[in-house]
Amino acid sequence: METHSSQSNPIRRQTRRIIAGVAGSALAIGGFGVSATAAAADTGSDTAADQVINIALTTDIDSVNPFIGVLADAMNIHRIQYEPLVAWGPEDNAEHPAIAQEWESNDDGTTWTYKLEEGAKWSDGETITSEDVEWTFNAILENESLNSAFGAYASTVKTVEAVDEYTVEIQLSEPQSANPGTDIPIVPEHVWSAIDDPAGYANDKDVVGSGPFQVTSYSVSSGIQMTANPHYRGGAPAFGGINFVPYKNTDAAVQALNAGEIDMMSGLTTAQYEALQNNDKIEVVAASGRGFRGVQINPGATDINGNPMGDGHKALQDVKFRQALVHAIDRDTLNERVLKGYGAPGTGLIPPLYPNYYVEPGTSGLLEFDLDKANQLLDEAGYERGSDGARTDKDGNPIKLRLYSYEHASAQQTLDLVAGWFDEIGINTELNVTSMGQYNDDTVMGNYDIYISGWTVRPNPDYLFGMNTCDSRPAADGSGATSLAGYCDEEFDKLYKQQAAETDPDARAELIKQMQLKIEDAAIFPVFFYPETFQAYRSDKIQNMVAQPTEGGAILMQNGAWSLAAAQPVGGGGSDAGGGNSTGIWVGVGAAAVVIAGLLFFNSRRKKASAEERE
């Protein structure tokens, strides 16, 4: 399967204008569609709009303010209730009309012009105009407190101008291969401009957005309640709302799913996925992984001014020491024992779901599993073994590294395996499984040695690599930008700038592969594997679940809200009441049907992040 992105199918020249291939607010494939209202009527339901979808919430939400919330489930909520200028399409993650129906760029990619859909409305009935786009971008550009989630996406934006009511022009400071209209959620100017402190605004009730569902209330204890947007450009969803219901862990959520108390969930363990296959009322999905898990190694974190941060072990500042650790990790065994083969061993930051950027196994420059090589590197670098077999640092002090993980189903198993290999090369470890909050705090401030971590990867991976640049290091207090691992290397920065300006897709892909090998050689974030994402839904209550990409895609946690917008009740089934209208949403028919955006089984992001979600 080939996955298209803005790089593999560029939308660049003035003569290559993208016009919405689907008319008006309808999403239809091949000219065929079916109204969700009609479909609900066919099943005998006349109360579709009075039903809600209950979805398990098993991880933290830091904020439902789209400028601030950066954890994975928070980002998921943003995508449901807000839209960017240009979406990642349902079928294959290619660029797709959203608030903008047409877009074009000049020859060198420094000026981008967007034509908005005329007459489209916010959920409160107000018209969506170019003023909303201008206000959103300028809020991020002009207010540092509003660039936590999406600041990196606007890093090359110089000006944004509302040319007329439905035309927006974005000027960039330098040529850029990526479409600047993707990913940044556009908010209503008439709401947000009246808020004195947008960064402090909770945005947790009666939200106004353009997506298919809008938050009506939120609390940590009761979760999130959303209601259908009657003005959604695709037609109001068939379900009247969504409830995100908090559970302490996936075991509790699976019990609720079996009991019919919830309708959908993501993040199943392998054992849960296999067990649910025996329930004929539940459909399980093993989605292609669009993210990775590995270990973040502290190379000696520094702040934006180059001053040391945190308390990482001094030995980790030695690249040979870090490389030895990576050579001691058996990624094939981790894939087989932790994932039970439901995934692929890691080679770089980009998963095989995005083949243009994927580093193939066996590529020269990968630090392959080799305990003899690991021991050789440590011996040559002067880390001697004592009589007990444990190594000491160059001052003769015993080395003991903190090997931590945030809490997830396979955390302890993974820690034990990695610690065992480290023990074989004479490196003692202290193991700990922390809360997500503790993990966020530790990694932001550089107070760690090694942390098991995971990230999702967007169709355009530019911003993931941007978090490895020197400019992405945070301020001394942890505010501002976020670095992936406190990394700063001038050669890497040069590669990053090259790929950002490269308009030839193949040439850019090669630069992205070089950046991955650079990170591998620096041994700051070796990737263990790319897990498949296990999800499930009550097929006796919900139908018309579509996946993105079409083959092997996910049904939750998408690059968008395609599946939830298209979902329909089965015969009037579904969960208890919620409000909303039931005008038609158009969905494709047959194998070419509209499908959902890819999900990542990986977790939430830390506090001050770019919008690559931390898993």
Per-residue pLDDT of 516-537, as tens digits, reads 999 999 999 999 999 999 999 9
On the question of pLDDT at 27 being above 50, the answer is: no
Picking from 190, 187, 188, 223, the residue whose alpha carbon sits closest to that of residue 204 is 223
Q: CA 529, CA 292: separation in Å to the nearest integer?
A: 6
Domain of residue 299, residue span: 291-531
CA atoms within 13 A on the CB side of 9: 15
Per-residue pLDDT of 392-416, as tens digits, reads 999 999 999 999 999 887 899 999 9
Tokens coding 199: 């960064």
User: Are 60 and 70 a contacting pair, CB within 8 Å?
Assistant: no
What confidence tier does 335 reach under pLDDT thresholds 50, 70, 90? very high
3-state secondary structure string across 405-467 = EECCCCHHHHHHHHHHHHHHCCCEEEEEEECHHHHHHHHHHCCCCEEEEEEECCCCCHHHHHC
pLDDT at 147: 82
Kindly provide the residue ranges of all beta strands, DSSP E only, lying in 472-556, ordered along the sequence: 527-531, 533-538, 542-543
Other C-beta atoms within 10 Å of 226: how many? Answer: 30
Of 31-35, 92-96, 135-139, 471-475, which range is least confident? 31-35
How many separate domains does the chain show? 1
Other C-beta atoms within 10 Å of 128: how many? Answer: 24
Picking from 94, 92, 169, 90, the residue whose alpha carbon sits closest to that of residue 133 is 169
DSSP class of 577: B
pLDDT at 434: 94
- pLDDT average, residue stretch 374-386: 97
Picking from 559, 332, 307, the residue whose alpha carbon sits closest to that of residue 446 is 307
Q: What is the pTM of this model?
A: 0.75
CATH, residue 315? 3.10.105.10
For the chain, what is the mean pLDDT? 85
| Residue 502 maps to a domain | yes
Per-residue pLDDT of 294-319, as tens digits, reads 999 999 999 999 999 999 999 999 99
| Residue 477 maps to a domain | yes
Tokens coding 346: 């890691």
Kindly provide the residue ranges of all beta strands, DSSP E only, lying in 314-408, ordered along the sequence: 343-345, 400-406
- Sheet with 18-19, strands from edge to edge, namely 18-19, 100-105, 111-116, 167-172, 157-164
| Residue 521 maps to a domain | yes
Q: CA 526, CA 520: separation in Å to the nearest integer?
A: 6
| Residue 382 maps to a domain | yes
- Highest mean pLDDT (candidates 70-79, 281-290, 326-335): 326-335
| Residue 461 maps to a domain | yes
What confidence tier does 614 reach under pLDDT thresholds 50, 70, 90? low
Backbone region of residue 421 per phi and psi (left: phi > 0; alpha: psi in -120 to 50; beta: other values): alpha
pLDDT at 462: 86
DSSP class of 199: G
The phi and psi torsions of 266 (rounded to 5 degrees) equal -130, 165
| Residue 101 maps to a domain | no
On the question of pLDDT at 589 being above 80, the answer is: no
| Residue 550 maps to a domain | no
User: Are 316 and 295 a contacting pair, CB within 8 Å?
Assistant: no
pLDDT at 5: 32
| Residue 400 maps to a domain | yes
Picking from 61, 26, 9, 201, the residue whose alpha carbon sits closest to that of residue 557 is 61
